[in-house]
Amino acid sequence: EAVNVSLGNLLTYPFVKERVDNKSLAIYGGYYDFLEGSLEFWGTPAKII
């Protein structure tokens, strides 16, 4: 959840949102599960928009 909140917070900056909207910038978050040893990456379209 914290990763999604952080990605959403980045989009509150107008210069970030503008570049994400015109596809000149992509933002991703990652989550590492220490117990399972797995790593997940999330981009803005998949999880928070």
H helices of the chain, in order, are 2-10, 14-21, 44-47
pLDDT of residue 13: 96
Q: What is the pTM assigned to this prediction?
A: 0.68
pLDDT, position 44: 64
Question: What is the per-residue pLDDT across 1-49, written as a single tens digit (0 to 9) for each?
Answer: 788 888 889 999 999 999 989 989 889 888 899 999 999 887 765 444 4
In sequence order, the β-bridge partners of residue 39 are 32
Residue 41's pLDDT is 85
How many domains, in total, are found in the chain? 1
Q: Are 37 and 31 in contact (CB under 8 A)?
A: no
What range defines the domain where residue 12 resides? 2-47
User: Would you say 3 and 31 are in contact if contact means Cβ atoms under 8 Å apart?
Assistant: yes
User: What 3-state DSSP class applies to 28?
Assistant: strand
Phi, psi of 48 (to 5 degrees): -120, -10
